């Protein structure tokens, strides 16, 4: 798949590298196109870099990997997103990690869906730290990632991207359920940093298989 990564920070660069290794074609978008091109060159595998708008035009799937504070401006700068799949990976931590800044009657993903007119918004890749992305296997268990969105075809494609990263992907339903799964990012932060558990942690949904 052609994937645009909007943002060249730790999350965006890690996702881009991992997906490039799975034979996806990556283009990084940045406010500084030279920075995006430098990152792309360091990854190789046919990756490229440019502006937000250039990356968005190039891709079928756009991953928003910028801080929440810059999300609205980044979407505006990316230009026309009608028909594109837009993966929202933002977290909405309040200042000084004092809880979430959005909710419970809306979510970052719902706001992004209003800003990115015509895009198919899927919430994903926000409930685990960057440090854990390269080590999602915990013994015999794979870490879960929870995704939600209103377009089933778009969710199916994003689910495959999650599988490519090494996640056991859980479909959490429609986009409104981002109100439920976005706070999990703050729980991860709380446990990892404030409670001293460290970053080598992830969430797992346990189920009992029915026997016939």
Q: Is 124:158 a contact under the CB 8 Å cutoff? A: yes
Other beta carbons within 10 angstroms of residue 80's beta carbon come to 13
C-alpha to C-alpha distance for 151 and 7, rounded to whole angstroms: 24
C-alpha to C-alpha distance for 66 and 39, rounded to whole angstroms: 15
Beta-carbon contacts of 24 under 8 Å, excluding residues fewer than 6 positions away, are 1, 2, 3, 161, 164
> pLDDT-based confidence at 114, cuts 50/70/90?
very high
Express each pLDDT in 18-36 by its tens digit.
999 999 999 999 999 999 9
> pLDDT-based confidence at 102, cuts 50/70/90?
confident
Burial of residue 117 (CB within 10 Å: 0-12, 13-18, 19+) is exposed
Q: Is the pLDDT of residue 16 over 70?
A: yes
Mean pLDDT in residue range 115-137: 94
C-alpha to C-alpha distance for 58 and 56, rounded to whole angstroms: 5
Mean pLDDT in residue range 74-93: 94
Mean pLDDT in residue range 188-198: 92
Q: How far is CA 166 from CA 2, 6, 114, 125, in A?
A: 19, 21, 30, 12
Half-sphere exposure (Cβ direction) of 112: Cα atoms closer than 13 Å? 36
pLDDT at 104: 83
Say which CATH topology domain 2-194 has: Rossmann fold (3.40.50)
pLDDT at 99: 64
Query: What DSSP element (H or E) covers 41?
Result: helix 33-43
Burial of residue 116 (CB within 10 Å: 0-12, 13-18, 19+) is buried
Q: Is the pLDDT of residue 94 over 70?
A: no
The predicted model scores a pTM of: 0.93
* C-alpha 207, offset from chain centre: 25
Helices (H) and strands (E) counted in the chain, each on its own, are 8, 10
Domains in the chain: boundaries: 2-194
Q: Is the pLDDT of residue 159 over 60?
A: yes
Other beta carbons within 10 angstroms of residue 88's beta carbon come to 32
2-11, 77-86, 95-104, 170-179: least confidently modelled range = 95-104
> pLDDT-based confidence at 45, cuts 50/70/90?
confident
Q: Is the pLDDT of residue 107 over 90?
A: yes
Q: Give the E-state strand segments of the chain in sequence order.
A: 2-6, 25-29, 48-50, 61-64, 85-88, 120-123, 137-138, 141-142, 144-149, 168-171
Mean pLDDT in residue range 148-169: 98
pLDDT at 28: 98
């Amino acid at each position: 798949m052609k994937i645009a990564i909007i943002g060249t920070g730790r999350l965006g660069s890690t996702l881009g590298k991992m997906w490039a290794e799975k034979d996806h074609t990556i283009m990084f978008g940045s406010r500084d196109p030279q920075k995006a091109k430098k990152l792309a060159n360091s990854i190789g595998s046919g990756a490229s870099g440019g502006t937000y708008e250039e990356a968005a035009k190039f891709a079928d799937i756009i991953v928003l990997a910028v801080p929440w504070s810059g999300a609205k401006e980044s979407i505006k700068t990316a230009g026309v997103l009608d028909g594109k799949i837009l993966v929202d990976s933002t977290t909405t931590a309040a200042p000084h990690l004092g809880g979430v800044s959005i909710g419970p009657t809306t979510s970052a993903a719902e706001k992004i869906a209003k800003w990115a007119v015509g895009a198919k918004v899927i919430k994903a890749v926000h409930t685990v730290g960057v440090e854990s992305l390269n080590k999602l296997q915990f013994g015999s268990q794979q870490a879960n990632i929870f995704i939600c969105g209103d377009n089933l075809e778009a969710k199916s494609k994003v689910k495959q991207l999650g599988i490519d990263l090494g996640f056991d992907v859980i479909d959490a339903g429609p986009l409104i359920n981002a109100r439920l799964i976005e706070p999990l990012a703050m729980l991860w932060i709380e446990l990892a940093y404030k409670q001293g558990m460290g970053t080598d942690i992830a969430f797992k949904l346990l189920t009992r298989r029915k026997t016939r």
